[in-house]
Structure 1
């Protein structure tokens, strides 16, 4: 809410130029109306200064002040309070299906693919305050980590805690991950439903064929953007588990079924992107953010507090006070 002071008709301030003219006219008229008497001597007369005579110009000053108050009232002073409210007129529901297989620990993105992805997705979530977003993670099997929600703090907290673990079966079940995301969106009443499907490998496990999952997305009117993450060629990736439980790394070829990802995107009306480094990954999510805009309707409420009445009342009070003085205290000097 913002509060501002303004004059609706400031052109009336030009009337203040009349005040110097009125003052000069008053001085000239007063000099003309002062009677003079010439005598040879004032001996025998009692002389003294009458304080009422000296205060007589107060009447004219009150008239000037009253006129000034009327001019300010004519300029129409007021304060303006504005309140802006926004309303989402076209909501978007987005589910991000994220590959959490062991290969997501590869270090071709810094510090690794998973951490780079989490940082970028967090930025994406913060940039969409008016949409509902859900998180699905998959490896050899898939499950919903966070259902569709507009609670961004919950999303960010859930995203931050995502990490590779051996709780779910190993492998890359792209079809299962996509099917789970479709299941989260199929009953959505949003005008636009979007899945962002990310993987760094090929579909090598799971009970659902990715093509069947993409047909389900088409049936429910869901658009799928697909992202392949990983450098071209070789990448330092986990190849074994050491006795202490940590991973042993080695250079392995990067394999992404790009044709499958392109087919899924094309069939559902989305697009396929390839992220070979951190910067490209960020640009991809920025591009999706631009492609899937949420329409926002803005309502502006304006409250005007008119203040001219106070100035009119002040002017009338001054005129009334001047009139009372003229017919009472200064009556004998008129």
Structure 2
């Protein structure tokens, strides 16, 4: 049987267990030193006549095992179940979305970023058989979601996209294109496309050479421009006021169509200026439909059996036992609830 942890990152929490054991050991040493300070063995014996060190240690052991079980439950141990024999035909599409503060400009209502999210969601809805991934960028690029057929998860990541996700400001289109390309199968020279959504405000001289290289490796690059050539001021979300330059003037952000058009041409794709999200989504998906599709088996259709609830149940039972184990010696009328 093949086992895996669905959220393996939570296993890092197991590092807390040795720390808890160490602190417990320090507590025992402190108790011994405290008893030594009292000095009189007969007095110490009288004070502790109803106390059971073994039961105290047992309560700690139960708690530590319960903590370990909770951490393992969070990681969700799974066993590979029956794999459904499902094949799909589609392409791999990486959405590369600009989330710099210039995308908060309101020359498109409600603002450029929200309109971009609307577009991406409409594209996702039209791509039932395709794998979709998401890269967010501003002054740096981040792989927000690798390629997946879980379109509901895709929409969730898109909804949470914003300037706070990438605090470094700027427009590093070249870096974003490279990161998107890293998500593709490097052995394939087709079935791949990037949809770049940006206002293209800051010129990135490295972007065009990168686009040409990706096109030579079989990646189609389609671009969508958001904003207006006339531009609009940027609202700073921290102050809810317009962003100012050093002279105190409003910073105006303008759509750089020329760069986005060049990238689309170099990437053997199309450029669309976003006005109506539905129409733009139709044009982009129509262009994506020109890419030859492949038939593949998708691992996302494997039925994994989860065991997290067993560990949660174990933790609950152990904690209940810990509550009812008294630190008093057997026969004492005083319980641990005092």
Q: State the TM-score bracket (shorter-chain normalisation).
A: 0.5 to 0.7
Is the partner of 1:185 in helix, strand or coil?
coil
Is the partner of 1:165 in helix, strand or coil?
helix
TM superposition shift of 1:154:
1.3
Report the aligned-residue RMSD.
2.7
TM superposition shift of 1:200:
0.9
2:259 corresponds to: 260
1:101 corresponds to: 100
CA distance 1:167–1:116, shift in 2 (3 Å): closer
CA distance 1:255–1:109, shift in 2 (3 Å): closer
The 1-side partners of 2:100 and 2:262 are apart by 22
Is the partner of 2:234 in helix, strand or coil?
strand
Partner of residue 292 from structure 1, selected from 278, 282, 288: 288
The 2-side partners of 1:246 and 1:225 are apart by 35
Q: Is contact 2:208–2:266 with CA below 8 Å preserved after alignment?
A: no
1:214 corresponds to: 211
Q: Deviations over 1:31-89 (max 9, x none)?
A: xxxxxxxxxxxxxxxxxxxxxxxxxxxxxxxxxxxxxxxxxxxxxxxxxxxxxx99534
The 1-side partners of 2:136 and 2:266 are apart by 22
TM superposition shift of 1:203:
3.3
Q: Is contact 1:227–1:272 with CA below 8 Å preserved after alignment?
A: yes
1:229 corresponds to: 226
1:1-334 equivalence runs, <5 A: 88-89=88-89, 91-165=90-164, 167-187=166-186, 189=188, 191-204=190-203, 209-238=206-235, 240=236, 245-249=238-242, 252-275=251-274, 277=275, 279=276, 281-293=277-289
Is the partner of 2:183 in helix, strand or coil?
helix
TM-score, structure 1 normalization: 0.55
Unaligned 5+ residue runs, structure 2?
1-84, 244-249, 296-338
The total of aligned residue pairs comes to 203
Unaligned 5+ residue runs, structure 1?
1-84, 298-334
CA distance 1:210–1:186, shift in 2 (3 Å): farther
CA distance 1:106–1:92, shift in 2 (3 Å): same
CA distance 1:272–1:167, shift in 2 (3 Å): closer
The 2-side partners of 1:285 and 1:199 are apart by 15
TM superposition shift of 1:286:
1.2
Q: Which has the higher strand share?
A: 1
The 2-side partners of 1:190 and 1:204 are apart by 28
CA distance 1:87–1:186, shift in 2 (3 Å): closer
Q: Is contact 2:93–2:132 with CA below 8 Å preserved after alignment?
A: yes
The 2-side partners of 1:95 and 1:230 are apart by 22
